């Protein structure tokens, strides 16, 4: 029989673990399943768990009073190394091989963990990341140089904004305004063939692709409160980015549309998007402090996502290409998670979102938007949202595909027996 002190430690551990998974961006239905499995491993097989956007609620037995834990102290987006470390704690807890008090301490240490790479490497990583995204858009050489400069500027602003939570809400507007204003000025002067590709690349890292994808997953699982909250939050961030760009068009003289975008094909070579996939992976590894030995796995998932999107674009067009990219990468991400050195699937998803969204958009409707056509502007915004929803549906359909393959190969049975403690 559990002692009161043991129950309190277990409750605290479950609450902290649930808050950490929420901060990592995991879907609430998955978080609830994880916590129920952990509770069962510690002798509470009938635990009840409810995860919401701002708090976690847990009762170890039906009919008992529930304990609530606000997630404010753990709120935010964890880096990739933090998410990987948190999932290591989860794996140990699913086997019952970690004392609850030690688990609570480890979760708090993970939240306060310093990045693997220092500020200098983080800034370089963001510049490399934006350059890789620009390569995916098949830019000019001038676009590549400008996107790298913008990458450094945005990284500096992100590092400053991370110190003051009050700045995080206005950061998308500020960055979008500065980057768009510089792009319009340089394009109007004809500087090195600079165009919209240099502007889009640094702004892609602000797109709420992961949030919108998890919103679709949660809504499909019946988690309406959290799913709707994520959807509203992600939609607001899109609106803030759009507002920043629109504000720049009002302050800076807008060049002609043909000066802002050139032919979207083979501006520096057919190989540019394929090289961009590798550069995005390397930049993500540095900027988000990905866990050690995870770079090859990140590159694998990114390559599969790009191949799926490339084939989907050839057959079905740009709007559906993101769906097939996400459908292809999801089983691979979950399969990689099973490898001893493989990062959690959630870690592999984030760079893939940044790769799929600009590739799916393909600058759809941008020229009409900048020509100040309200109908085209609405169509362009809808196209952006539709591309993200397509990616979310690809993830949603890809997970059952992985489960089917795993059952066929016997992986799920092996995982379950390995994760649970032996019965005496």
In order of 38, 45, 136, 368, the CA distances from 201 in angstroms are 41, 48, 9, 19
Residues 129 and 244 in one domain: yes
Whole-model pTM over 0.95: no
Asked if residue 421 is part of any domain, the answer here is no
Label residue 121 by pLDDT band (50, 70, 90). very high
Range of the domain at 226: 119-409
Q: Collapse the DSSP code of 56 into the 3-class scheme (helix H, G, I; strand E, B; otherwise coil) and give the result.
A: strand
pLDDT tens digit string along 66-111?
A: 777 676 544 457 888 999 999 999 999 988 888 999 999 999 899 8
Q: Is residue 53 part of a domain?
A: yes
Number of domains into which the chain is organized: 2
User: Which of these three, 73, 94, 111, is where a domain ends?
Assistant: 111
CA pair distance 363, 384, nearest whole angstrom: 10
Pick from 36-50, 282-296, 309-323, 324-338: least confident: 309-323
Percentage of residues in the chain having pLDDT higher than 90: 21
Using the 3D structure, point to which of 84, 111, 138 is the last residue of a domain.
111
248 shares its domain with 306: yes
Segment 395-424 shows an average pLDDT of 63
Q: Is residue 417 part of a domain?
A: no
pLDDT digits (tens, 9 = 90+) for 210-255: 777 778 778 877 788 888 888 888 778 878 887 888 888 888 876 6
Q: What is the mean pLDDT of residues 138-159?
A: 88
Assign 367 a pLDDT band (cuts: 50, 70, 90).
very low
- Predicted confidence band of residue 423 (pLDDT cuts 50, 70, 90): very low
Q: Which pLDDT does position 411 carry in this prediction?
A: 58
Q: For residue range 340-366, what is the model confidence (pLDDT) as tens digits?
A: 778 888 888 878 877 876 544 544 444
pLDDT of residue 272: 86
Whether 352 is in a domain gets the answer yes
- 84 & 154 share domain: no
pLDDT at 383: 64
In this predicted structure, what is the pLDDT of residue 424? 31
pLDDT at 193: 62
Top pLDDT among 303 and 350 is at 303
52-66, 77-91, 120-134, 188-202: lowest mean pLDDT where? Answer: 188-202
If asked whether residues 31 and 133 sit together in one domain, one would say no
Asked if pLDDT for residue 198 goes beyond 50, the answer is: yes
pLDDT at 305: 92
Are 375 and 404 within one domain?
A: yes
CA distances from 106 to 52, 58, 98, 134 (A): 22, 20, 10, 38
User: Residue 374: what pLDDT?
Assistant: 56
Please state whether 207 falls in left (phi above 0), alpha (psi between -120 and 50) or beta.
Answer: beta
Q: Are residues 289 and 324 in the same domain?
A: yes
Candidates 244, 218, 248, 247; CA nearest to 232 is 218
- How far apart CA 274 and CA 278 sit, in angstroms, is 7
Burial of residue 210, with CB atoms counted within 10 A of its CB: 0-12 exposed, 13-18 middle, 19 or more buried: buried
- Report yes or no on 386 lying in a domain: yes
Q: Is residue 148 domain-shared with residue 296, that is, in the same domain?
A: yes
- Predicted confidence at residue 206, as pLDDT, reads 83
Please indicate, yes or no, whether residues 271 and 136 belong to a single structural domain of this protein.
yes
Do 140 and 15 sit in the same domain of this protein? no
Residue 211 domain flag? yes
**So what's the pLDDT on residue 375?**
60
Residue 423 lies in a domain: no
Domain boundary among 111, 140, 168: 111
In a domain, 420, yes or no: no
Average pLDDT, the chain: 80
Higher-confidence residue of 299 and 217: namely 299
Query: Quick one: 243 and 271 in the same domain?
Result: yes
Question: Which residues, 6 or more positions from 227, have their beta carbon under 8 angstroms from its beta carbon?
Answer: 214, 215, 216, 217, 218, 219, 221
Same domain, 215 and 296: yes
Mean pLDDT of 204-208: 79
Residue 189 has pLDDT above 60, yes or no: yes
pLDDT (0 to 100) of residue 284: 92
Residues sharing a CB contact under 8 Å with residue 47, sequence separation 6 or more, in sequence order: 14, 35, 36, 39, 40, 58, 59, 60, 61
Same domain, 24 and 49: yes
- Using only the alpha carbons of the chain, give its radius of gyration: 22
pLDDT exceeding 70 applies to what percent of the chain? Answer: 80
């Amino acid at each position: 029989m559990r002692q009161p002190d043991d129950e309190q430690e277990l409750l605290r551990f479950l609450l902290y673990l649930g808050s950490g998974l929420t901060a990592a961006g995991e879907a609430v239905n998955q978080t609830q399943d994880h916590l129920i499995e952990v509770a069962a491993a510690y002798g509470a097989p009938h635990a009840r768990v409810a995860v919401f956007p701002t708090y976690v609620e847990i009762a170890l037995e039906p009919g008992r009073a529930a304990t609530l834990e606000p997630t404010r102290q753990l709120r935010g987006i964890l880096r990739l190394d933090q998410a990987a470390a948190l999932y290591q704690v989860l794996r140990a807890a699913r086997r019952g091989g970690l004392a609850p008090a030690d688990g609570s301490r480890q979760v708090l240490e993970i939240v306060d963990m310093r990045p693997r790479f220092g500020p200098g490497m983080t800034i370089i990583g963001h510049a490399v990341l934006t350059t890789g995204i620009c390569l995916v858009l098949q830019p000019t050489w001038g676009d590549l140089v400008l996107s790298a400069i913008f990458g450094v500027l945005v990284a500096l602003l992100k590092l400053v904004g991370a110190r003051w939570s009050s700045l995080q809400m206005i950061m998308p507007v500020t960055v979008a305004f500065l980057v768009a204003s510089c792009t319009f000025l340089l394009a109007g002067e004809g500087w090195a063939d600079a165009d919209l590709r240099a502007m889009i690349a640094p702004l892609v890292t602000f797109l709420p692709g992961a949030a919108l994808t998890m919103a679709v997953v949660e809504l499909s699982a019946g988690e309406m409160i959290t799913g709707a909250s994520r959807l509203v939050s992600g939609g607001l961030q899109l609106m803030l980015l759009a507002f920043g760009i629109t504000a720049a068009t009002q302050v800076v003289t807008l060049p002609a549309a043909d000066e802002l975008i050139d032919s979207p094909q083979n501006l520096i070579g057919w190989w540019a998007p394929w090289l961009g996939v590798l550069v995005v992976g390397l930049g993500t590894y540095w900027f988000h402090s990905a866990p050690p030995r995870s770079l090859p796995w990140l590159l694998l998932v990114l390559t599969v996502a790009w191949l799926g999107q490339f084939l989907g674009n050839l057959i079905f067009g740009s709007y559906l290409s993101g769906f097939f990219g996400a459908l292809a990468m999801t089983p691979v991400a979950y399969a990689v998670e099973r490898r001893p050195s493989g990062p959690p699937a959630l870690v592999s998803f984030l760079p893939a979102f940044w790769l799929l969204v600009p590739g799916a958009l393909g600058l759809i409707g941008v020229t009409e938007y900048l020509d100040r056509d309200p109908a085209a502007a609405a169509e362009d915004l809808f196209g952006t949202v539709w591309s993200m929803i397509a990616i979310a549906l690809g993830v949603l359909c890809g997970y059952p595909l992985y489960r089917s393959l795993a059952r066929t190969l016997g992986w799920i049975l092996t995982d379950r027996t390995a994760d649970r403690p032996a019965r005496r």
